[in-house]
Each structure stands twice: as C-alpha cells, then as structure tokens.
Chains A and B, each alone.
Chain A
Amino acid sequence: MIPSDKVLTEEGIGPAHKGRILLIACGALAREIVDLKEANGWTHLDLTCLPAKYHLWPEKITEAVTEAVEKHRDSYDEIFVVYADCGTGGGLEARCAELGVNMIPGPHCYSFFEGNDTFAAREEFTAFYLTDFLVRQFDAFVWKPMGLDRHPELRDMYFGNYEKLVYQAQTDDPALDAKAEDCAKRLGLAYERRFTGYGDLKTELAKL
C-alpha cells in the first residue's frame, strides 16, 4: 500500500525489510517504483523513501541519503540510490562514490523519465517540467513555496523566461492531464503533454 502524497512529501516511508537490495529513493518516485516492482515481480527490491520536500532545499538531500545508507547498509546486500543529481551540484554523486553505493544517472528525474540521452538532445531549456507526482503536488511544490498563492505578481520574476510547461506523463490519466494543463494556465505558459512512461528508471532498476 502506498501512502498518500502528503506523507511522501513530508515524511517519506520506511523499508518493509523484505528483499536483499534496498532502494533509497525520493518520495516523489515512490508510486512509480512500487508500480514497477509489482509489474515486474521485483521481490528482491525493498524500498525506503526520503521526504520529497527535500527538493525544496537540495542541500539536505546529500546528508539525508548518507544517513539512510549508514542506517541500513548492514541489513542489505546492496543499496541503490534512486535520486538523480537533483540540484546537489555533483555532491550526491561524489558522496555515493565515497559510500560505495550506486545511484541512478542523470541531472534530475525529468531527465531519466524521458531517457537521459533523449532529454539532453532536446536542449529544451525554456521548458518547465512536471511529472505525475509534481502535477498532483503542484501547490505544495510550486505554487505555495514560490509564494504565488500570496503574491501572483512574482510570476514574471520566476517564469518570465520560460515558454512552456511540459507534463511528462508516467501514466495515462486524463484527470492529471487536465490538472497539468491548468497548472500551465496558472503559470501563463504554453502546455505540452509528453508521455514518457518510466524511462531510464525502469531500465536502471531492471539491472539490479
């Protein structure tokens, strides 16, 4: 059973202590990983998620991942970190190397959902990306932390250089599509839905 998005954002989830490989993941990826585990019968993978809200302060991610690795490493054969760089400026990758654990490659989840190579080739730097999780949590991750609920006049300072919002859909869900389109409207951006599925997330987890 997957906890609510609010729990994934604020608290994260602990491991079930079943499986020989522990995935230490961002809460924003919990549903997708559980879905992949179930669809592929990956019973050897256990999952713990750190609060997705750490993305609002990327400097917290490296330390939180380190703490989780140290806490759980004796209980598993292997640990795999399911965070991309996520704004840590290479800090998380360096720390994972020090800790002797592997992590999913890529600058952020928008990149590995689409496939890192495809994403890089687009050079689409005036696009603002939302995933399934971020569409559902748009107010908690974008609208409120940026103060747009209280000060809509800040929109231009944040988004004046963006041209479109790309909703990278992991699943086919018309309700999320409609919500994403509404997010684009609220930000004053053009809208594009792009189905990505799980991209490199699936490929990388399949290697474990």
Chain B
Amino acid sequence: MADEEEIILSELDDEELVLQMHDDLYDGLKEEIEEGVRILLDRGWAPYDVLTKALVAGMTIVGADFRDGILFVPEVLLAANAMKAGMAILKPLLAETGAPKVGKMVIGTVKGDIHDIGKNLVGMMMEGAGFEVVDIGINNPVENYIAALEREEADILGMSALLTTTMPYMKVVIDTMKEKGMRDDYIVLVGGAPLNEEFGKAIGADAYCRDAAVAVQTAKDFISRKHNKLAAG
C-alpha cells in the first residue's frame, strides 16, 4: 500500500489544481506540470492565465526559497525544466491569443563566458512576465549585442557573466554603445554570481539584478518609467 494517496490532477478543481501545480513545480515534476497545463487549457483557461497563475506564480515561490537559502541550484534547475516544459505548450497559444507584450529584451552571456544557467532562468522568467526575449546565447562579442539590439528594436539589453575574468567585458559593450550614441536608447541590466550593485554602477549599467525575480521587477519598473516619460513628453 502506498504511503500517500495518489493525486489525480484532473479530479481537482481549478483552485486546487493551481496550488498542486505550484507544489509540482517546486518538486520539479515536469510531466505533472505538462498535464496540469493541458487540463487548465481544456477547461477553457486563457493561456496567459495558465502562464501567470500556475507557472509564474509557482516559480516565484521557488525563486524566493532559493534566495532565502531553502532551495539550492539543482532544485531550481529541476523546477525551471518543469516550467520550460509547460511554457513550450503555452508559447504558440500565447502568440495566437495576443497576450500582452510588456517589452522586448536581448539577452546573452558575454565573450569568453559559456555559463548560461542564470541567463536561461532570467530569460524564462522574463517571458513569463510578458516580455519578448531574444536569446543570443553564449560567448557574445560586442558586435553580436549591437546587431541584435538594432535588428530586434529591443527595449532592454541583458548581459550575464559567471567569471571574474569575463565580467569586465560588459563595460566594453556599454562603452561601445556610448560611442555609437545608442546607450540611452536601451535599458541595460547585468547579472551573474560575481557581480554586485557597485560593479553595475561602475560600468554604466542601469541596474545589477541579483536574481531572475529582481531582473523581472527591475525591467518592469524601467519600462513603466520609460512609458511615463514618453507620456509626459
């Protein structure tokens, strides 16, 4: 006899199911998340509501517990994998249903740095918050960032580095943007384990973001300030 009674997701009401999905996300249960997403969609939920109420809300709990030292990197990665699987179902539907777009971000790790776990988490959470994310991958020289920003007409540039030896390259990118007279056209957010707020200021970024949740909130704040400024102007 099993110790715990098996939970049949389809037998839960909406509220119970969403809470169960938060638990399943916390436990990194990819297949359960996929099933939960499909059930909510079958019940007529809008894809955007499934994304925000079930996935993003659940991942926010994971992020908070990681910040507070309750969860560690492996658990966060498992949760992220589960969320990614749920988002893969929702993404085409979100595009069809015209979910709100908050802004557009180009994101990538800097030249010489192949560590993309943080970048991927930020990208996913930004997408979950309604941003369009153009991920230019790892090991990006300045030319890649500039070309992507111009091509994509992005609002935000996100740069990530894990190594003390590669993080100074962020300044190379920002200085090049200044030289080209395009620095003020973009919100520049930086992140990565060895960075801090002081470093972000010193290189001329708009903000240092210590984790994905902070990145999302900071991006939202800057975008809303930009809109206010445009409205006032």
Contact = CB atoms under 8 A, between A and B. Distances in A.
Interface string A147-164: 110110110011001100
A147 B72 CA distance: 9
Contacts of A154: 74, 77-78
Interface stretch (A3-11, A17-25, A70-78, A84-92): A84-92
B114 A161 contact: yes
B91 interface: no
Which residue, B74, B81, B114, B166, has most C-beta atoms of chain A within 10 A?
B74
Given A146-B74, A154-B78, A87 B117 contact: no
Interface string A9-35: 000000000000000000000000000
Contact of A87 (B74, B113, B164): B164
A91 B198 CA distance: 11
Interface in B63-120: 72-75, 77-78, 81, 112-117, 120
Nearest to B168: A90
B222 interface: no
Given A147-B74, A151-B74, A89 B112 contact: no
Contacts of A151: 28, 74, 77-78
Nearest to A147: B74
Given A87-B164, A89-B199, A161-B138, A58 B194 contact: yes
B53 to A, nearest CB: 26
B164 A147 contact: no
Nearest to A91: B196
A62 B192 CA distance: 18
Contacts of A161: 114-116, 138
A107 interface: yes
Given A107-B164, A123-B112, A126-B114, A88 B194 contact: yes
Nearest to B120: A157
A125 B139 contact: yes
A125 B112 contact: yes
Interface in B170-200: 193-196, 199
Interface string A127-160: 0000000000000000001111011011001100
Nearest to B199: A89
B213 to A, nearest CB: 18
Which residue, B28, B81, B116, B164, has most C-beta atoms of chain A within 10 A?
B164
B165 interface: yes
B59 interface: no
Nearest to B112: A125
A94 B116 CA distance: 27
B75 A147 contact: yes
Nearest to A124: B112
Contacts of B163: 107
B216 interface: no
Contacts of A88: 164, 194
A90 B74 CA distance: 27
A125 to B, nearest CB: 5
Given A58-B193, A85-B164, A107-B164, A125 B77 contact: no
A151 B75 CA distance: 9
Given A85-B164, A87-B193, A158-B117, 7 more contacts: A88-B194, A120-B165, A146-B73, A147-B73, A154-B74, A154-B78, A161-B114
26 contacts: A58-B193, A85-B194, A89-B164, A89-B193, A89-B194, A89-B196, A90-B164, A90-B199, A107-B165, A120-B165, A123-B112, A125-B114, A125-B139, A125-B166, A145-B73, A146-B73, A147-B75, A151-B28, A154-B74, A154-B77, A157-B81, A157-B117, A158-B117, A161-B114, A161-B115, A161-B138
